[in-house]
Structure 1
């Protein structure tokens, strides 16, 4: 099996039975905020796109690059389709001209047959509203000699299924640096923001190391790492590897830092687990667990460590005209009142989603230019700010050109457009509200119906585990992760390392968001 990194979470997997192109992202995403690191624009995308199979893990724009798929990828390629509850991914790919699909069943091994032979694959599909825009996934490929698990952004809760159906994993392509806007955009004191960022950064790497231990692959390739932020307004979000406090407060560690974390924490012992650096264009040949060779297009150290800031500065100059061209496609900032367009977008969704609106539970402020609009979730209406409103528990300040653009484009997911761009600021009083961000992801009838139904189902609370002197339910109340694998107890506080959510064990109260109570009690000694 030959694996070529094509940037970020993208890989080209060559087997005797055919080639698979995975998540081929090259064009700036999220309002020109995110650009693949290291640069991958010099790759031969026409050659990479002449593939037998295409796998797009989910609809995030750093995985689903519409322009690259349209311009460079063979439309006769067979699409390996995750088993998602809402068919948005298939529809988007069909609109680009793809016409042959293998509809997989979640966490089930399939044999795909082509003119070059048979290939065993499995796609683990995550279906919670918090996963992508209604879905995220990971791909396992077995060519009869080498087993590769391309996990990209997915956070599976049950990995035993891989061992049961494949027996082992030789190569693990692993995301370790999250896609999030917290805490950078929050209106909080600078020192608090830095402390929260350091915690967030470390939790992400701790979670990735937990996955390494559970999967048990011989080779681990850190991927789906940080983008480059090359716009002047966002450049400070990069981690420049200078060792400064500012770097530590960036939530985006790079591949070199994660490989060092693996060595420090024993998940790279040189025998059982081995970290492997791959940059855009790196090619590695595997025979089972054996690495035959690896070739890089340039010395990887030339873009990391003490060379990283100079590299990012050069990329900033290279991409300036590309970013400017994307900005020119945005809607104008000036225009008529946004009240009616916001009503037309949000009120029908509010009226279909009682559980989610009640879960939000309060009006939310939306400051757009000089106007403040109110998403009044208890009343299921959108209105202008009123004198008696006071300070909103949650609020967003967003430039009008961004709002007008997503309204113009009938965008169904503001989380994976505006929010991931980090081109906004926000504040909140109290904990994170998962229902609110779920609402912003689900601005279609199908999505909101699925999300409302998902939240209405009772979570599995039947089995228990004992963890550091506490008896607790086995499945996390948030997204059903197995707490025997992801749970960490410190005193009377439980943290689920899958997403970093926390609970007070004495009361069962969720410390991260409203609701999601945990069943727990101290074990009698």
Structure 2
């Protein structure tokens, strides 16, 4: 087995029987309205990937993990001429990927449910599918030539890793996201010290999730992929050089892993786009000469930004006042349509204010309980959520050139909330498409309907808690305990205080924790209960 790194989360995996191209993100215009650019540059690999997909011989597969445009690159895929290969996509309730590839003209499209195996000569390809709320993602495993590669990319399967490894056997090479890919706290208005504190906590939490996955998988090698993009828009260029943010590099990750797991035998690899790894020997069959290092990082990005400057010049657009007024009204209608479909609107106890920078005295006030969107001259409440963006940026959503989540990931907005508490329904209202609003609400209800409980131990005491996280249903039997009292969700690292009834430290959700009386503990010890689960500590 050979693995060619394509940059970001992209790979070409070649076995004796098949070629699997994974998440090739190669467009010179980057992703999320060009806010994210590949780091390091990988645009030169487009001809190589086209050759792998177009050349007859071995059976060829294109795997797309999910809809985010740093994984699903329609612009590059449109340049592939010969399409006699098989496309593998996860089977989500939202059928966007299936619909796109049904029109693509390829040999066949296989929409894989969770755990689906696709046989290849001498092995198989297997997809692991995860869908909770607004999160839709998948991971992929390729087994062939008596070797195995598990690519988790962005997929949050950490609560399932024990089961996957026990069922699938040894894994030679493992890759999983280690950098942030969300708009919090990047787009939020925080004091610098607060921003740094939140970022550091999120970064270390992500590193810890990788470390715990590595302890389970115990691969021969870990490839640092799905790492940070870079931000070359002049308005965002400073993000690349913040002392602390949620976009760490592989050097920082490796330092954490070596300190956290000093006895681990896993090799840590940071390939450049174009490097080819021989899985049997764990040696590179070829090495790219130009490499990005901490020493040349600033110079590299400055040159890269100069090369891409034309992309951002093309984005610039001066709007007439009449155009801004029209966009303002279209946005009001869009928000009202979303609100009309939001069955859980009464759960949101604060209004949302949306401001177009061109119209600072005409705010859109979303009243969730009243289920209406009004135009007001100013913010009326201290308790509120706010979003500020330009008409030129939001119109791309209204014109359906971007979806709402892509817009949020473009970082071309500013957000604030008071109190500074995560509100899942409001968060979903912003990020979910109109056609998915009802399904989003049904997903929350389905998660809340799970009432199975498990027993966990912390600080020398045992607690009965809800087995599934109220956020997006992660299995808390795979959670871990920190500081003797906080049960940490393995998927999104939410902390639940067992000494405070299982209340989440981030918001008002709860695991409804109850301390198990000592007498009951003894009775349970004497009478085993089938299926009782214990968390990993």
Give TM-score, length-normalised by structure 2.
0.86
Q: Which whole-Å CA distance do the structure 2 matches of 1:276 and 1:187 have between them? A: 36
Q: Residues 118-137 of structure 1 correspond to what in structure 2 (within 5 A)?
A: 119-131=123-135, 135-137=136-138
Q: What is the correspondence of 1:298-337 to structure 2 with a 5 Å cutoff?
A: 298=289, 300=291, 303-325=292-314, 327-328=315-316, 334-337=323-326
The equivalent of 1:242 in structure 2 is none
Aligned to 1:485: 478
1:14 aligns with 2:14: yes
Quick check: 513-522 or 448-457, which moved more? 513-522
Q: Does 2:242 align with 1:261?
A: no
Contact 1:146 1:286 in 2 (8 A): yes
CA distance in structure 2 between the partners assigned to 1:122 and 1:460 by the alignment:
31
Q: How does 1:201-216 map to 2 (within 5 A)?
A: 201-216=203-218
Q: Is structure 2 residue 469 aligned with structure 1 residue 476?
A: yes
Deviation of 1:348 after TM superposition, in Å, equals 3.0
> 2: distance between equivalents of 1:365 and 1:63?
32
- Partner of 2:503 in structure 1? 509
User: In structure 1, what is the Cα distance between the partners aligned to 2:355 and 2:431?
Assistant: 19
- 1:479 to partner: Cα distance: 2.6
Pair member with larger Rg: 2
Asked if the contact 1:262/1:275 (under 8 Å) is kept, the reply is no
CA-CA distance at 1:182 after TM superposition: 1.8
Secondary structure of the corresponding residue to residue 186 of structure 2: coil
**Residue 488 of structure 2: aligned partner:** 495
> Cα–Cα, structure 1 residues 292 and 433, in superposed 2: closer, same or farther, change >3 Å?
same
Q: Does 1:358 pair with 2:346? A: yes
1:69 equivalenced with 2:70 (yes/no): no
State how 1:30-179 maps to structure 2 within 5 Å. 30-43=32-45, 44=47, 45-50=49-54, 52-72=60-80, 74-98=82-106, 100-108=108-116, 110-113=117-120, 117=121, 119-131=123-135, 135-156=136-157, 157-179=159-181
Contact 2:66 2:89 in 1 (8 A): no
Partner Cα distance (1:41, 1:112) in 2: 31
- CA shift digits 1:134-160 (9 cap, x unpaired): x10100111141111011000112123
Question: By how many angstroms is 1:107 displaced?
Answer: 2.2
How far 1:346 moved relative to its partner? Answer: 2.9
Aligned-residue RMSD, C-alpha: 2.5
In the alignment, is the contact (CA less than 8 A) between 1:262 and 1:268 conserved in 2?
A: no
CA contact (8 A) 1:6 1:40 kept: yes
Change (3 A) 1:330 1:315: farther
Pairing partner for 1:521 from 515, 521, 534? 515
Whole-Å Cα distance in 2 between the matches of residues 153 and 479 of structure 1? 15
The equivalent residue for 2:386 is 395
Q: What is the CA–CA distance in structure 2 between the aligned matches of 1:331 and 1:491, rounded to whole Å?
A: 56
Within the alignment, does 1:23 sit opposite 2:41 as a pair?
Answer: no
Give the whole-Å Cα distance in 1 for the aligned partners of 2:82 and 2:473: 38
| In structure 1, C-alpha distance between the alignment counterparts of 2:390 and 2:256, rounded to whole Å | 38
CA contact (8 A) 1:339 1:383 kept: no
CA distance in structure 2 between the aligned counterparts of 1:408 and 1:214, rounded to whole angstroms: 45
Alpha-carbon distance between aligned partners in 1 of 2:497 and 2:247, rounded to the nearest angstrom: 29
Please state how far the C-alpha of 1:332 moved relative to its aligned partner: 7.4
Q: In the aligned structure 2, how far is the partner of 1:448 from the partner of 1:466?
A: 38
Residue 450 of structure 1 pairs with residue 443 of structure 2: no
Instruction: Tell me by how many angstroms 1:424 deviates.
Output: 1.3
Are the structure 2 counterparts of residues 315 and 146 from structure 1 closer, same or farther at C-alpha, using a change threshold of 3 Å?
same
Q: State the Cα distance separating 1:393 from its structure 2 match.
A: 1.5
Taking a change above 3 Å as real, the CA distance of residues 351 and 89 of structure 1, as seen in their structure-2 partners, is same
- In the comparison of the two structures, how many residue pairs are matched? 500
Q: Secondary structure at the match of 2:224?
A: strand
Change (3 A) 1:279 1:160: same
Pick closer, same or farther for the CA change 1:95–1:315 going to 2, 3 Å.
Answer: same
Measure the CA separation in 2 of the matches of 1:388 and 1:29: 33
Structure 2 CA distance for aligned equivalents of residues 230 and 511 of structure 1: 35
Q: Distance in 1 between matches of 2:307 and 2:325?
A: 36
3-state SS in 2 of match to 1:42: helix
Unpaired runs of 5+ residues, structure 2, are 522-537
Could you report, residue by residue, the CA deviation over 1:240-299 in whole angstroms, capped at 9, with x for unpaired residues? xxxxxx42x122111222122222222673x3x221121111100113xx4254432125
Asked if 2 retains the 8 angstrom alpha-carbon contact of 1:31 and 1:421, the reply is: yes
Query: Residue 465 of structure 1: CA displacement?
Result: 2.4
Where 2:324 maps in the other structure, the secondary structure is: coil
Secondary structure of 2:176 counterpart:
strand
CA distance in 2, matches of 1:268, 1:422: 39
Paired residues of 2:90 and 2:127 also in contact (CA < 8 A): yes
Give the equivalent residue in structure 2 for 1:243.
Answer: none
For residues 364-398 of structure 1, the C-alpha deviation after alignment (integer angstroms, 9 at most, x for no partner) is: 01011223112222222222126683345111111
Q: Is the contact made by 2:337 and 2:434 (CA closer than 8 Å) also made in structure 1?
A: no
1:314: Cα distance to partner? 1.4
Partners of 1:332 and 1:21 in 2: CA distance: 45
Rounded to whole Å, the distance in 2 between the matches of 1:324 and 1:231 is: 9
Distance apart, 1:118 and its partner CA? 5.6
Distance 1:336 1:159, change over 3 A: same
Per the TM alignment, residue 522 of structure 1 is displaced from its structure 2 partner at its CA by: 6.7
- Partner Cα distance (1:201, 1:393) in 2: 27
Note if 1:3 corresponds to 2:10: no
The equivalent of 2:202 in structure 1 is: 200
CA deviations 1:430-465 (Å, max 9, x no partner) are: 2111222222332232x2232111111213532222
Aligned-partner Cα distance in 2 for 1:219–1:466: 33
